[in-house]
Amino acid sequence: MLAGIARHARPKALMEVIDSVDISVEGGVAGDARGLVKPGGRGRRQVTAMAREDWERALAELDPALTRDLLWQDRRANLLVQGLVLPQVAGARLRIGAEVVLAITMECDPCQRMDALRPGLRQALTPDWRGGVCTRVLAGGRIALGDIIRIEEA
């Protein structure tokens, strides 16, 4: 299930949490700085997704006093999924609702910004693709919180 949607209007901007959004092949998540495919680009990072369970596992490895105020959108992922194990293979597809199809392109490696939030967070997000996946949009449409997500083979 789709448990969260977030976007940022420009690099390093705060993440805006929203209830629904349009996703397009050309621009990824509407209003997100990362989704636009540049001329000649492959769009490998149009939309990022992370599992709530992976986020919680990462936080559980850190001092609870230091993670109490961290929110999933602090990871800077566009989508938060719940009750679903994200495939750890490029080419697998995620169907969200009736229309949207995303192709996993690679692991979403956590960057140094995670340690700026909390020391050790980057390392806690590293095992088993806990930091999430990067995807390319194959089919666009509108998504909303609560949408069902299905995994499809490439």
**Residues 128-150: b if buried by 16+ CB within 10 A, e if exposed:** ebbbbbbbbbebbeebeeebebe
What is the domain count for the chain? 1
Arithmetic mean of pLDDT, 90-114 = 95
Closest CA to 136 of 13, 36, 40, 2: 36
Q: What is the pLDDT of residue 140?
A: 97
Which residue range(s) make up the domain with 9? Answer: 2-152
Question: Angle CA(107)–CA(150)–CA(19) in degrees, nearest 5?
Answer: 85
> pLDDT band at residue 154, thresholds of 50, 70 and 90?
low
For the cut 70, the answer to whether the pLDDT of residue 67 exceeds it is yes
Q: What is the pLDDT of residue 65?
A: 83
Rounded Cα distance between 40 and 8, Å, is: 23
Q: What is the CATH number of the domain that holds 130?
A: 2.40.33.20
- 57: exposed, middle or buried (Cβ count in 10 Å: 0-12, 13-18, 19+): middle
CB 106 within 8 A of CB 87: no
Q: Per mean pLDDT, which range of 34-38, 67-71, 149-153 is the poorest?
A: 34-38
Provide CB contacts within 8 A for 55, sequence distance 6+. 72, 75, 80, 130
139 to each of 30, 52, 86, 111, how far by Cα in Å? 14, 24, 19, 28
Q: Per mean pLDDT, which range of 64-68, 78-82, 88-92, 129-133 is the poorest?
A: 64-68
For the cut 90, the answer to whether the pLDDT of residue 124 exceeds it is yes
Question: Which residue type, as a one-letter code, is found at position 22?
Answer: D
pLDDT tens digits, 20-65: 999 999 999 999 998 877 666 667 789 999 999 999 999 999 988 8
Q: What is the pLDDT of residue 74?
A: 93
Closest CA to 5 of 86, 98, 100, 78: 78
On average, the pLDDT of the chain sits at 93
